[in-house]
Amino acid sequence: MSEHADLLIIGAGPAGMAAALAAAPSSARIVILDDNPLPGGQIWRDGPQAKLPKQAQRLREQLENCGNVRRHASTRVIACAGPKQLLVENDERGWVLGYDKLILCTGARELLLPFPGWTLPGVTGVGGLQALVKGGLPVRDQRLVIAGSGPLLLASAATARHNGARVLRIAEQAGSAAVAAFAAQLPRWPDKLLQSFSLFDHHYRTGTHVLAALGTDRLEGVRLQQQGKIVELACDRLACGFGLIPNTQLGQALGCELDGQVLTVDTWQASSRADHYAAGECTGFGGSELALVEGAIAGYAAVGDRRQAQALWPRRARWQGFANTLNSTFSLDPRLKSLAQPDTLVCRCEDVPYSALATHTDWRAAKLASRCGMGACQGRVCGAATQHLFGWQPSAPRPPFSPARIETLSCLDDSPPA
């Protein structure tokens, strides 16, 4: 079974939705693939305890009203099936999806750094906690500590607090001077300034980072380095997030070049491969506003409407300025590389400690000797951690990109050779 799209969009977060809506008036046959049940990505994730902003609701409604846009929910890309063909799978079937042009809006995932106790039950990522709470996880009256870096700490705290959690501390590793300088620039982006007021929490502390999660069978407390002093807090949950890692694996598999850790794009959001575009956090981090305008530019450019795309360049430049300020403010302190102890697990899927990795010189050697990155997450967590800790470059992705059924893989037999 196969399908063909004039324009295929991978990812239905803000960038993907904006790309589809920009391209829709062209009457092109548009297909959106996303691994979530509903559009919105992580930032606008839906669930029993989620409250979607009006902008997200409006974009969803507009998308549903586009007769030439077809959305495949809960669908994953498994492999490249040939030139401009992908093998995809949902909960019911697998099939080959061909396309003329493609826009990658694959977003980003959390950077999780290992520290003593980070594998204890009760310790999660910051974005992970937010997703769990929106999905219905009860946190009422639970004592919560949030640690790491960036505005997501405040957003996650607000979601948990809204659902009854007791936020004891928000530990931001960036220093007070850097955060104050960032706050002083927020009037350049009035919406962000207003948002900062709604997210403010008096438990927020700068110059503070996690040292260890405490407990035996589950989390019982956390040890923090707070502005030069050691502080211990009893808590029921600890959420840590140290920024984001762009999801570039599919782009790399398709032959798109990288610029550092992100996909390379030009002013039209075009990648290094002809007819392949990219937008949103797989090209750099800047929040939903930047993702929306990048997605719209990519959508217009992909259907040949360069005039509309170029008209959005000033808006993109404005939000790129915010992104640059954000990323420089919350860059990680080098001291965070020393959190892990020799017995701290780095690859939690294969139980590989820091000491088993520190003697190696690159990712491949460490993987061959220790099985690091060969477990269920396929290096998505430990690969990013070792890249930060040791400067290792993870290997290029190999299919299948996600776990797949045998029947799905058999679809490759029916596709033309690459």
Q: Using one digit for the tens of pLDDT, what is the confidence trace for 56-84?
A: 999 999 999 999 999 999 999 999 999 99
The band of 375, judged by pLDDT with boundaries at 50, 70 and 90, is confident
- Identify the pLDDT of residue 193: 87
Per-residue exposure over 351-373, b if at least 16 CB sit within 10 Å of its own CB, e if not:
ebbbebbeebeebeebbeebebb
What sign results for the dihedral spanned by CA atoms 45, 48, 50, 55? positive
Q: Cβ distance 120 to 345 under 8 Å?
A: no
Task: Find the DSSP H helices in 186-331.
Answer: 190-199, 249-253, 287-302, 306-311, 313-329
Q: Cβ distance 210 to 332 under 8 Å?
A: no
pLDDT digits (tens, 9 = 90+) for 209-259: 999 999 999 999 999 999 989 999 999 999 999 999 999 999 999 999 999
Tokens of 199: 């997210």
The band of 418, judged by pLDDT with boundaries at 50, 70 and 90, is very low
380 φ/ψ angles, rounded to the nearest 5 degrees:
-65, -30
Q: pTM here?
A: 0.94
- Identify the pLDDT of residue 380: 86
- The residues facing 76 across adjacent strands are 89
pLDDT at 414 over 80: no
pLDDT digits (tens, 9 = 90+) for 320-338: 999 999 999 999 999 999 9
**Any idea where the domains of the chain sit in the sequence?**
2-109+245-326, 112-242, 340-390
How many Å is the maximal CA-CA distance in the chain?
Answer: 63
176-185 helix and 313-329 helix, angle to the nearest 10 degrees? 160
Q: Cβ distance 210 to 147 under 8 Å?
A: yes
- 112-242 adopts what CATH topology? FAD/NAD(P)-binding domain (3.50.50)
Peptide bond preceding 83 in cis form (omega within 30 of 0): no
Q: 2-109+245-326: CATH homologous superfamily?
A: FAD/NAD(P)-binding domain (3.50.50.60)
Judged by DSSP in three states, 96 sits in strand
Burial of 22 (0-12, 13-18, 19+ CB in 10 A): buried
2-109+245-326 and 112-242 agree in CATH topology? yes
d(CA 77, CA 104): 12
The contacts of residue 67 (CB under 8 Å, 6+ apart) are: none
- The residues facing 166 across adjacent strands are 143
- Identify the pLDDT of residue 415: 58
- Identify the pLDDT of residue 80: 94
The band of 262, judged by pLDDT with boundaries at 50, 70 and 90, is very high
What sign results for the dihedral spanned by CA atoms 59, 61, 62, 67? positive
The band of 378, judged by pLDDT with boundaries at 50, 70 and 90, is confident
